[in-house]
Structure 1
């Protein structure tokens, strides 16, 4: 290890020709799309034996993530010290109170007036790592800001390490332990710094349209101008849906307006919001609900229960209102709303909802003529900072004597004193933003909710159970008590999924199985509305042995890929949505991964459901491009499904009247299986051009490639020809060739000067259905290609299979079948490594290929091979050779490998060795990655 550490230090600080090392080498840390500083700190924590931090500024929103890691470390008896201070009063009193909750963390207060240090020291078994730079322990600094931090490793005998340790030791000796008395005194004297002040005016009085609202208003105005009578806006809870409605009504300027909702409380609040936007006399605004019938006003805000009473509805002329808005429009399929929709004849109906997907399968989109004017979902709203960030923690549910909560667990166990004690301990540990808890607890049964509320009260936490058995008056009373602070928690089942506005909420607790992604997001969204002083929401999910655990990372990340590999990544690593964070404890993650292993995410049943939902949404059979824009499933799921030849094949299975010839089906299969993934846009761009012109010159094609930022060389242009004439596939694989599967006819003709579509394809494109599907595949592929760099062959950290690599290396034929671990060509050599083999008999286990340090690996050729073997000589002595490295964690993740960039051979490590049980000769060598791995990719591929 000492040699590796020494080489890594020399590589980073002296000469890059020395071998580097991801774990040991000096690195500049920053926040970008592939990485952030927190991921490196987290990895160091998970692998260290102890740590000492000296950090001036700490925010409570980063403590949630820290607590997840330290809870796992506590089980390994790993402890640490944190030295901080009160400089500028930046650290809020709550921060210090929360730090005292971490049992394996010793906290000290620096006795220095201007304490402004930002340093993180980690002690490992044989070395130490320090991270020093501009980053305090705040969410913005570690996740988002433009920050720099230098990470350096050394032995404990190094002069720099000794100096840092001396400074930390001196600082620790001069610092005092954090005590409850110190916190009380600090609380009494503390004043919020001016730069931290958040006022109600800042948050609640900004009523000019935001970025999303402006786009929605433009789309609504275009609908009206086009003569459409209905439109739907889908807007996540807390994103200004009510104000958007008010802006739309103001733009339309109706003579008389009607607003309809299912609760008087919402109607009253909306009336107030509309008046702020539209202004005018107070008498212009009236309520129609219960005993209040102010129906002669210009702007009438009605509850559906009152409006649908026969004597009330009949007092209005059907054309009395020229603009009608239905809030919570997902309810509009119910009989009461249908009565209203059939009675009134306004110039325009506007529906607004946060959750258009109904569990009863009623089609809300159809009611509004499939005019989806605008859609902003939860992830978009968080990215745009329209909502309060959340910090989600998935923790293991209570376990005793090997018994874990699942779908069949007895109620007595769910409400046992020990489980309640465990739940409250976790809730206290992870905390909340603010001085007092204001939380919603979702559980699975009504009787469970009632018993848990009683147990919470007994433990000193005022709580009330609310179910659908409670009256509207009781619900409003209880919500008011929660807002005012006389209650800490409301315990419910599914009552608060929608339509309840409690901006003060700072904790969401989930004590039930996730049955639906829709319901999960509805419940999560309850706490995300902005509120003065609320900087984040803590979401605590108690994860048992549920069959549907796999839905959690998919729902949280808005994941449409149906990729088991991506779901694993989202579970194993922290993920980020804007400034929101998603973390799972190690045991909770293991339970989710276990659930993932038992479910098929991309089966035909799932695709049928996604298809039906999207067809309801847009009012016609969706195409692949529709799934890219609106669907719950990525178009790649259809393209890569082995039981489908192409998307037209799927449409036929869904009963759509679609007739395709054998040749047309073969062409669609080729484009779907080879090009739709978008890993190279060049073929797609040429086909798109040839759909508009019968002939394209070489110069025109190259100009189009330049316009799209796509590289081109003579080898690349030859490769495009090989692909589109299908000669690339003229290699036997088993009993047939792909060329036969794809029609055995070239799609293009290319002479010295021009490209043309083949006559056979030109004739086929006269068929309307085939042309539609052909163009749809091209457009979808070009859209997906934006995820890849088109100015290079490969995009770092994207996934490729062996055939993709053959094509992107511009090889004339697909030689992926016999390639196995690598193939040495004249200019480029791809190497494929499966890090963990399922069997000791497989090549990687025998040859011990590994990338444990994330920057260099010991790699072996096939056997028998010798130093003098032609392929070894070519690798060693061809100065132009590019070695491309592709790695996947194990065979269970599929056939695709992550591209880790180019690598170089360390010549002094090349050695002939006897390998495997038969001791055959192979040549071993160290390969050095040109681009050191990001912390997230290292954790994904090379850690448990």
Structure 2
């Protein structure tokens, strides 16, 4: 099986992390980008080296999916570690294991602690729970790969308590731009659902309370669906089985062909197949279909299970992001939720990286209710709005920095000059990133011309050094050139070529360190 370019990059990046001694690493790929294929190929590489591998997951569908993809993509067979099935005595080098089974003391003790060389955790946002930690702690010498769809910063910081590094991340925006996932458009429906009395449980909205809060609005929501998605293939996520069943009945009264599935459905496989075959055009479920189920022809998702957890929100929307012949885009129906205390996941959370841009995009979309909006376009506009606001606020601060009698460049001046939002917004996630910058890092930064007193941690130092190496290889300006020329009023010197900056500095030097005649720094654009 031929891997896509980003899949091959991911495969190599994971191997590189392990070879450099970072034993617990993460791979972040959006839903629909073939994470199972990627980790199957990584497992194949491990088996070729004679290693034993455990794939750990918390649901039967995920175990079956991993086993099937491994067979299809690599030809490797697997042994099963679940309930009465055991892998002991099997000659297969790959085991797919249920975490519920593996975490039991009696089951774990049957394996020597060094039995598995490598462990792959599917849906790795679950990896910090007690059950997973029991298994991972027992096989603590193993190299570990955690695979997950895009987590938010909070998730990543939590995962950083166990994982050492992020080997590779492929964003939803990249996947859409490169044509591997469907474009996403959203309509914010001007219907406000009141969640102000809903309580919290385990860090998210309590499902039973959400069900009660949602009940009075189901008729109105169905009417909106008639307007927006009567000709689409739609999956609806609801908080409770009874709410899901009630909503199915309402939709059928409105002319939809709606079905419902839940964990107790005896005919679940049959209903899912009938939906795939277009016997139904709406599928209601109570959080059953968030992981391990694919139906690429889905072109509309309705999230009526409000959540604060971005990984969960991504999973729900991800049911509709796959490509399919004749499918032009995924439509996301976005309802206004009134909540006084907690920030909810909205379409903006799928594609924005910084909290400020996310907030701005949410505000912008709420001003345009009832209009079909392209998420990529909205993210670009929100980012531009935030940059404009931030540049205004930072202008004075930078002006002060440029006046300082200092040979080295403030990191903030460098970041703003090269338009490096990712550096300005950087938050350390992993343990090693949070440690103080090393002497070696600080000396290397000073050699490049960066003032290091404000470099708070090793992660920021590492990012800065990577960016500086890259800029050097691309022939772009150095921090010292930026400081010198911006100190004389030139703009955006960080975007110039090294030779353009050197020529201007040579001209200034030849003119007795005064600006050459006719050069207006604020208007000057290098030729």
Tell me which interval the TM-score lies in, with the shorter structure as reference length: 0.5 to 0.7
Using the TM superposition, give the Cα deviation of residue 488 of structure 1 relative to its aligned residue in structure 2, in angstroms.
2.9
Pick one of 331, 338, 344 that aligns with 1:539.
Answer: 331
Pick one of 137, 161, 176 that aligns with 1:382.
Answer: 176
Any conservation in 2 of the 1:328–1:351 contact (CA below 8 Å)? yes
Does residue 425 (structure 1) correspond to residue 227 (structure 2)? The answer is yes
How far apart, in 2, do the equivalents of 1:222 and 1:529 lie?
29
How far apart, in 1, do the equivalents of 2:62 and 2:483 lie?
62
Match of 2:505 in 1: none
Match of 2:81 in 1: 288
Using the TM superposition, give the Cα deviation of residue 385 of structure 1 relative to its aligned residue in structure 2, in angstroms.
2.0
Any conservation in 2 of the 1:413–1:419 contact (CA below 8 Å)? no
How far apart, in 1, do the equivalents of 2:351 and 2:278 lie?
32
How far apart, in 1, do the equivalents of 2:140 and 2:196 lie?
51
Match of 1:616 in 2: none
How far apart, in 1, do the equivalents of 2:10 and 2:244 lie?
40
Match of 1:230 in 2: 24
> TM-score, with normalisation over the residues of structure 2?
0.65
Match of 1:507 in 2: 300
- Whichever structure has more strand as a proportion of its residues is 1
Does residue 210 (structure 1) correspond to residue 4 (structure 2)? The answer is yes
Does residue 279 (structure 1) correspond to residue 90 (structure 2)? The answer is no
Q: 1:610-634 CA deviation, whole Å, 9 max, x = no partner? A: xxxxxxxxxxxxxxxxxxxxxxxx9
Match of 2:187 in 1: 394
Using the TM superposition, give the Cα deviation of residue 826 of structure 1 relative to its aligned residue in structure 2, in angstroms.
8.5
How far apart, in 1, do the equivalents of 2:409 and 2:318 lie?
42
Using the TM superposition, give the Cα deviation of residue 414 of structure 1 relative to its aligned residue in structure 2, in angstroms.
0.2
How far apart, in 2, do the equivalents of 1:523 and 1:427 lie?
17
Any conservation in 2 of the 1:506–1:534 contact (CA below 8 Å)? no
Cα distance change of structure 1 residues 554 and 459 upon mapping to structure 2, 3 Å threshold = closer
Match of 1:722 in 2: 488
Pick one of 33, 52, 55 that aligns with 1:256.
Answer: 52
Cα distance change of structure 1 residues 673 and 446 upon mapping to structure 2, 3 Å threshold = same
How far apart, in 1, do the equivalents of 2:473 and 2:12 lie?
33
- Count of paired positions: 435
CA RMSD, aligned part only? 5.2
Cα distance change of structure 1 residues 306 and 397 upon mapping to structure 2, 3 Å threshold = same
Using the TM superposition, give the Cα deviation of residue 406 of structure 1 relative to its aligned residue in structure 2, in angstroms.
4.3
Any conservation in 1 of the 2:25–2:145 contact (CA below 8 Å)? yes
Match of 1:363 in 2: 158
Pick one of 521, 530, 535 that aligns with 2:314.
Answer: 521
Pick one of 212, 218, 230 that aligns with 1:415.
Answer: 218
How far apart, in 2, do the equivalents of 1:829 and 1:256 lie?
63
SS of the equivalent of 2:248 reads: helix
Using the TM superposition, give the Cα deviation of residue 719 of structure 1 relative to its aligned residue in structure 2, in angstroms.
5.3
How far apart, in 2, do the equivalents of 1:361 and 1:415 lie?
35
Cα distance change of structure 1 residues 477 and 366 upon mapping to structure 2, 3 Å threshold = farther
Pick one of 410, 416, 422 that aligns with 1:677.
Answer: 416
Match of 1:340 in 2: 135
How far apart, in 1, do the equivalents of 2:394 and 2:484 lie?
29
How far apart, in 2, do the equivalents of 1:442 and 1:670 lie?
51
How far apart, in 2, do the equivalents of 1:550 and 1:665 lie?
43
Cα distance change of structure 1 residues 493 and 285 upon mapping to structure 2, 3 Å threshold = closer
Match of 2:41 in 1: 247
SS of the equivalent of 2:107 reads: helix
Larger Rg computed on CA atoms:
1
Using the TM superposition, give the Cα deviation of residue 343 of structure 1 relative to its aligned residue in structure 2, in angstroms.
1.6
How far apart, in 2, do the equivalents of 1:689 and 1:342 lie?
37
- Whichever structure has more helix as a proportion of its residues is 2
Any conservation in 2 of the 1:247–1:277 contact (CA below 8 Å)? yes
SS of the equivalent of 1:321 reads: coil
Pick one of 427, 437, 440 that aligns with 2:235.
Answer: 440
Using the TM superposition, give the Cα deviation of residue 342 of structure 1 relative to its aligned residue in structure 2, in angstroms.
1.6
Match of 2:282 in 1: 489
Cα distance change of structure 1 residues 455 and 325 upon mapping to structure 2, 3 Å threshold = same
Ranges in structure 2 where 5+ consecutive residues have no aligned partner:
198-212, 421-442, 450-470, 502-513
Q: 1:864-906 CA deviation, whole Å, 9 max, x = no partner? A: xxxxxxxxxxxxxxxxxx8x9xxxxxxxxxxxxxxxx9xxxxx
How far apart, in 1, do the equivalents of 2:279 and 2:141 lie?
45
Q: 1:5-35 CA deviation, whole Å, 9 max, x = no partner? A: xxxxxxxxxxxxxxxxxxxxxxxxxxxxxxx
Any conservation in 2 of the 1:320–1:346 contact (CA below 8 Å)? no
Match of 2:356 in 1: 562
Using the TM superposition, give the Cα deviation of residue 328 of structure 1 relative to its aligned residue in structure 2, in angstroms.
1.1
SS of the equivalent of 2:146 reads: strand
Using the TM superposition, give the Cα deviation of residue 455 of structure 1 relative to its aligned residue in structure 2, in angstroms.
0.4
Any conservation in 2 of the 1:640–1:673 contact (CA below 8 Å)? no
Ranges in structure 1 where 5+ consecutive residues have no aligned partner:
1-206, 399-403, 584-588, 603-633, 647-661, 682-687, 695-703, 711-715, 729-780, 794-811, 814-824, 831-881, 885-900, 902-944
How far apart, in 2, do the equivalents of 1:519 and 1:669 lie?
45
How far apart, in 1, do the equivalents of 2:84 and 2:483 lie?
77
SS of the equivalent of 1:422 reads: helix
Match of 2:62 in 1: 266
Does residue 458 (structure 1) correspond to residue 224 (structure 2)? The answer is no
Match of 1:76 in 2: none
How far apart, in 1, do the equivalents of 2:405 and 2:312 lie?
41
How far apart, in 2, do the equivalents of 1:324 and 1:302 lie?
10
